[in-house]
C-alpha cells in the first residue's frame, strides 16, 4: 500500500482481503492507544457519480449503525490523498475470533455484506 494515504494516522501492516471493488488492510493507529483498525480502500467508486453516491450511502448507513453491538464501529472515511479512490477506516474484527461460528466479519465479494448496496 505504499504511496496511498488514508484518513487518520493509521499505519498499514498487511493486506487482508481483496474483492471486486475494494481491498482491506489491517492497520494500527499509534496515535490512538496503538489500536488495530481495518482500512477498506474502494478503488472503483470514484469512477462516476453513481459510485460516489453509493460510497456516501454506505458510510452513512455504517455510521448510523456503528453503535450497535453487532456492527463494526466506523472510525473515519474519505477520499485518498491522490484522489484515486475512497477509504473507510473501522474497528478491526479478527477472523480468528469468529472461527468455527459460521460468521465471516469480512465477507468475500458478492457475499452477504454486499447485499442491498452495502
Q: How do residues 50-85 score in pLDDT, each as one tens digit?
A: 888 888 898 899 889 988 887 888 888 888 777 777
Structural domain spans, the chain: 1-91
pLDDT at 98: 58
Collapsed DSSP state (helix, strand, coil) of residue 6: coil
Give the up-direction half-sphere exposure of residue 59: CA atoms within 13 A in the CB hemisphere: 19
The answer to whether 19 touches 113, Cβ cutoff 8 Å, is no
Cell of 9: 494516522
CATH of domain 1-91: 3.30.200.20
Q: How far apart are CA 68 and CA 31, in angstroms?
A: 25
Q: How do residues 17-49 score in pLDDT, each as one tens digit?
A: 888 888 888 888 877 877 888 888 887 766 678
% of the chain surpassing 90 pLDDT: 1
Amino acid at each position: 500500500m505504499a504511496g496511498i494515504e488514508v484518513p487518520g494516522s493509521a499505519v498499514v501492516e498487511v493486506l487482508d482481503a481483496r474483492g471486486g471493488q475494494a481491498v482491506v488492510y489491517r492497520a494500527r493507529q499509534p496515535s490512538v492507544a496503538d489500536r488495530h483498525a481495518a482500512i477498506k480502500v474502494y478503488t472503483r467508486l470514484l469512477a462516476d457519480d453513481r459510485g460516489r453516491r453509493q460510497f456516501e450511502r454506505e458510510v452513512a448507513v455504517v455510521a448510523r449503525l456503528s453503535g450497535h453491538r453487532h456492527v463494526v464501529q466506523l472510525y473515519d472515511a474519505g477520499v485518498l490523498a491522490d484522489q484515486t479512490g475512497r477509504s473507510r477506516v473501522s474497528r478491526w474484527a479478527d477472523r480468528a475470533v469468529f472461527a468455527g461460528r459460521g460468521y465471516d466479519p469480512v465477507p468475500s465479494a458478492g457475499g452477504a455484506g454486499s447485499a442491498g448496496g452495502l
